[in-house]
Chain A
């Protein structure tokens, strides 16, 4: 795969007259795992939201496969999976219903089998039809993370994926990240946790710009 994946050039963003980051440059290719680190308020979430296409408050260039994001937004979104801070699920619905909707938004055919196996993979076998508000915080987080396995993507952008996850769960998620990168996917994430994955890990510190 000779095409560059995600390329960021001279990225600049400010919030409330405070510069979050400036002249930020990096590339993210297939198989890369990149961690964005920095203290609270340093703009990690803002950066991820910009790269996910949720925010347009930036200057600079963002390129995907050598084309600018604005030119091919739909293609980019189709290959991207963003999991942010928020719950990402409707508490009143069951995991199965939530994921059916998420898959429908992604244009995937209406088929429960991939969803059921995704839920099994995140450890929610047997909980598929239970309303999400009756699940624990960790389980609800896992429902959100189950999207990683029923929605095909080339790029994962994860904002604090380990929130509300216990020790064993953390190791599991790290394994998922490694497996995904091994299979040629790219991962961009932020976390306060010290990542332990058996893949080369790059770290970019915000707050120094």
Chain B
């Protein structure tokens, strides 16, 4: 099978639905294991930081959340590009599915950032480079979600969001870099949230676990949401109706195949 036929096979919603169905339990189980394991490790087993005490432990949620939120946006951009270039409907569904997940992860990163800030710096919010960039990423996500909802026509919505997401993806490095520059102007000698200060290896390992767990969680959630999207979009096809209506093979509804 040539690479193009494989590519187009992946673009079939039905194939994706069946394939993802098999992947889901593994992804879900593994991510849960890593997240809980990493969290327990980080929360209970790692000794407290000499400077920050126990509050540093929030990094085991905060760092993975913000890293995956960023990765999710780039994934969304790639899906959007695939949709625009190859007109693959599945790519549009994936793109739409990722948006709320990414937005939630960004929100989680902001929340945990605030929770970290309070005991460490005394305030619920600190305008440092990283947190500000995460906030802007949050706004970018909200923009994509709002744009999608504003269109009545689904295909136009998908194409428009694809354009917006690609524009956003191109801008993100510029935004992040500009915010870094801005922060360096105003707070030259400050402590960074995730310091370039060296992290002790014993603290780093649980972070790797929760990071991996978060990526897997994202993959799991992405597949789940995309499957919902597929069921919704392809609701007029027989295979979806079979799934939804159970074994009712003599369904009264006429399906347009």
A residues lining the B interface (CB < 8 Å): 15-17, 19, 57
- B residues 11-49 near A (Cβ < 8 Å) are none
Pairwise interchain contact A17-B236, C-beta atoms closer than 8 A = yes
* Interface Cβ pair total, 8 Å cutoff: 6
Indicate if the CB atoms of B155 and A57 lie closer than 8 Å: yes
Provide the bound-state CA to CA distance between A57 and B152, in Å. 15
How many residues belonging to B are interface residues under a CB distance threshold of 8 Å? 5
The answer to whether the Cβ of B197 comes within 8 Å of any Cβ in the partner chain is: no
Q: Is the interface of A mostly helix, strand, loop or mixed?
A: loop
Closest to B236 in A: A17
CA distance A19 to B155 in the complex (A): 15
A83 to B256, CA, bound (A): 35
- Encoded as 1 (CB less than 8 Å from any A CB) or 0, chain B from 147 to 176 comes to 000001101000000000000000000000
Q: Which residue of A lies closest to B154 (CB)?
A: A16
A16 touches B153 (CB 8 A): yes
Residue contacts A-B, CB under 8 angstroms, 6 given:
A15-B153, A16-B152, A16-B153, A17-B236, A19-B256, A57-B155
Taking CB atoms, residues of chain B closer than 8 Å to A16 are 152-153
B220-257 Cβ-contact flags toward A at 8 Å (1 or 0): 00000000000000001000000000000000000010
The distance from the CB of B159 to the nearest CB of chain A, in whole angstroms, is 9
5 closest A-B pairs by beta carbon, nearest first, are A57-B155, A17-B236, A16-B153, A19-B256, A15-B153
Residues of B within 8 A of A57 (CB): 155
CB distance from B158 to the nearest CB of A (A): 12
CA distance A112 to B171 in the complex (A): 45
Question: Using Cβ atoms and an 8 Å threshold, which residues of chain A touch B236?
Answer: 17
Q: Please give me the residue from chain A that is nearest to B156 by CB atom.
A: A57
A19 (CB) vs chain B CBs: closest residue:
B256
Q: Which residue of A lies closest to B155 (CB)?
A: A57
Which parts of B114-167 form the interface with A (CB within 8 Å)?
A: 152-153, 155
The CA of A173 and the CA of B180, in the complex, are separated in Å by 65
Task: Write the nearest CB–CB distance from B85 to chain A, whole angstroms.
Answer: 14
Nearest CB of A to B179, in Å: 38
A104 CA to B26 CA in the complex, in Å?
61
- Please give, as numbers and ranges, the residues of chain A lying within 8 Å of B153 by CB-CB distance: 15-16
